[in-house]
């Protein structure tokens, strides 16, 4: 059974996503979605990615809560910037943040968090220098942004992945 479904959770989630996008649970859609999800799972098995090792489930819950609050706050801030239009000075800029995080899944999660937060975008990761380049729409205080990334996100990701 594990040869047909090497990643059963991935297969189930892909099937659920397929049915959600199709907005139908008709037998034909369930069958087609199962075939697509199974093929995608088998393709993933061919890539043989290393399994993620999650260390602290409580930190995952805290991280999700913090990220949700930060995304809501950022949405409000970006909306204010858009509504104000040209009445404010341009404060966007680039920020380079040093990271301790080296786990590939942790880095991927951090990239998703930063990019999903309106007003910021993950641009480049330098594995040699272990730094990330970020573009921030409202970059007033570089140290505050660095502290936010290091203390709010990276610290929890280190607890989860390393």
Q: What is the overall mean pLDDT for the chain?
A: 88
Model-level pTM?
0.74
Which has the closest alpha carbon to 134: 151, 149, 120? 120
Q: Quick one: tokens of 62?
A: 């805290």
pLDDT tens-digit readout, 55-104: 888 899 999 999 999 999 989 988 887 887 755 666 788 999 999 999 88
Q: Is residue 119 in some structural domain?
A: yes
pLDDT at residue 88 in the model: 60
pLDDT at residue 89 in the model: 66
- Say yes or no: 90 and 20 in one domain: no
pLDDT at residue 147 in the model: 92
Residue ranges of E strands in 13-146? 93-98, 120-126, 131-136
CA distance 148 to 120: 12
pLDDT tens-digit readout, 29-39: 999 999 999 99
Which structural domain, as residue segments, surrounds residue 26? 8-47
Q: Is residue 19 in some structural domain?
A: yes
- Which one has a higher pLDDT value, 60 or 6? 60
Which has the closest alpha carbon to 36: 8, 15, 22, 19? 15
Q: Is residue 155 in some structural domain?
A: yes
């Amino acid at each position: 059974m594990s040869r047909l479904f090497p990643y059963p959770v991935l297969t189930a989630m892909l099937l659920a996503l397929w049915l959600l996008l199709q907005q139908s649970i008709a037998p034909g859609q369930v069958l087609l979605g199962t075939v697509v999800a199974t093929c995608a799972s088998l393709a993933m098995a061919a890539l043989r990615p290393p399994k993620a090792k999650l260390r602290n489930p409580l930190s995952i819950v805290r991280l999700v809560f913090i990220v949700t609050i930060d995304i809501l706050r950022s949405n409000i801030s970006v909306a204010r910037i858009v509504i104000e239009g040209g009445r404010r000075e341009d404060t966007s800029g680039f920020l380079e943040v040093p990271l301790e995080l080296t786990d590939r899944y942790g880095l991927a999660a951090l990239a998703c968090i930063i990019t999903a937060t309106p007003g910021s975008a993950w641009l480049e990761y330098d594995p040699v220098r272990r730094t990330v380049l970020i573009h921030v729409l409202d970059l007033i205080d570089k140290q505050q942004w660095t502290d936010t990334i290091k203390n709010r996100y990276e610290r929890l990701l280190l607890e989860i992945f390393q």
